[in-house]
Each structure stands twice: as C-alpha cells, then as structure tokens.
Amino acid sequence: MSETCNHDCGSCSQNCSERQQDPKSFLEAPHQMSNIRKVIGVVSGKGGVGKTMVTSMLAVLLNRKGYNTAVLDADVTGPSIPKAFGIREKAQGSEWGLLPCKSKTGIDIMSVNLLLEDDTAPVVWRGPIIAGTVKQFWTDVIWSDVDFMFVDMPPGTGDVPLTVFQSIPLDGIVIVTSPQELVSMIVAKAVNMAKMMNIPILGIVENMSYVKCPHCDEELKVFGESHLDEVASQHGLRILGRVPMDPDLAKACDQGVVELFEGGWLDGAAELIENME
C-alpha cells in the first residue's frame, strides 16, 4: 500500500495487497431465521427462452422427490413465477421479517408481485432499487428449512444478475437457451460472466427444442436444427435436458398449475442437483 493511499480503490490503479479482496466479501448473510442448504441460479443471456418455466419445473421435480424447495423470483420487472404456481394471495410479514407464500404442494415463493396491490402494475424502478429489492428477498425473507432454492434470474448480464452473483452464495447455475443460431453468442456471455464471478455452471437446458407431431410422434424442429451439442462442447458444458414446445406444459403454466406437469425432460437435471455435494 502506498504511503499516499487515500483508501479509495475505485480511483486507484495500483495493484496492492489491500485491494486483493476475496470476491465473497460482497456476500450477504441470509435472514438469521433462514436455513437454506443449496442455492441454484437459473440464467439466460436473453429473454423469452423459458427460464421461468425451467425454474418452476426444477423446483417441482425436487419437491416431488421429497425435498423442501423454494423459488426466489429475481426477475423484478417481469415477475411470472406467482402466475405459474397460481398464487394470488400476498406475502405476509411479522416483526421478524417477510414470509414467503406457499404453493399448493408447499413450495416457498417470493416475488415482487406478491407485494404489489395490483399484479399488473408496472415496476418502474431504477436499477439500484431493483437490485436492492432482490437482495432484500435474500436478507429479509425467512426461508425456513429449504433444501434447494432456485433463483429465477432476469435475462442478460446487467445490474440484477451481478447483484445476485455477488450477494447470494450460489452453489451453481443452470443456463437456459433455445435452438436458434444466435444462441452461441448469448450462451457465451452467460458462461463468461459466471466464470468472472467464479460461479460453477451445472449445465445447459435447451427449451423449445422441438414440437412432437400429435399424429406420428415425429419431432419437428421449428427453429431449425439445434446447435446445443456444438455450443455445449465449445464451452465444456453438460447438457441437462431438451424441453419441447408442449401445449400441455404451456397450458399448465398459464393456468397456474405447473405443479401438475408431466414429462421427464428435466429428470437428469433434477438428479444432478439432488446429488450436489
């Protein structure tokens, strides 16, 4: 450290020992009454790829295995987790902190839509306020006895994903993508951000992978041939599943009964998460 150091590392170009801080120093402690075993982020480099659907399905699958699961909806400006689970009541609080809502099968849910009087009211907030809200979902909500928490991240690599990566001790992330050719660049952005933040990547899920013909069971590639194998190989990622464009699955989410979905597309992903050390 220089003798003239003013302790403002943001304005200093020196690479002294004082600025070699552990990245984990930004981590926030959960609520003192919380007990969370594993935290998995579900991310995508762009919007509209079905990240919320994959998040919901993974929480449901681990719940079916007998684990206590939870979903922290970090997509503050586009919260759709409550709708997928059919939750209409609002989150309650006590003198100790906020309490998550429970789904029909007992999955703990916290989302900004559970705090707004009107579900359709837009969240017109600046980035720092949105990021602070997500952080409070971790620090001020009482997540009691959760085996696996899934964090539904907003798309991209901006303020909120950065806040989650820095503030919440993620045990790993799942990247969600689609079959379009543009996906290679988008996945690379998500992979590189995770590597910069030293977050383990559990693998990649391709959503909208195909449509199965109801008459002959042929798999129709609506978006053309998938580039998933190529992209996964390029980045050394494990393929965790391919989810089709399934009308029944979409209907279950729209009607708030995602917990009733049928299909084994993500069974391998759920098994991998279940066996995380």
pLDDT in tens, 240-270: 999 999 999 999 999 999 999 999 999 999 9
Convert the pLDDT of each residue in 186-237 to its tens digit: 888 889 999 998 999 999 999 999 998 888 888 888 887 888 898 899 999 9
CB 175 within 8 A of CB 203: yes
* DSSP line for 149-210: EEEEPPSSSSHHHHHHHHHS--SEEEEEE-SSTTHHHHHHHHHHHHHHTTPPEEEEEEES--
For 36, 55, 61, 218, 228, the CA distances from 65, given in Å and listed in that order, are 17, 16, 7, 31, 28
Give the best-scoring range by mean pLDDT among 32-36, 77-81, 130-134: 32-36
Query: How far from the centroid of its chain's Cα atoms is residue 75's Cα?
Result: 9
pLDDT given at position 181: 60
On whether the CB atoms of residues 125 and 136 are closer than 8 A, the answer is: no
Indicate the DSSP class of residue 83: H
- Per DSSP bridges, beta strands 201-207 and 172-177 are parallel
Its pTM stands at 0.87
Q: How many residues does the chain have?
A: 277
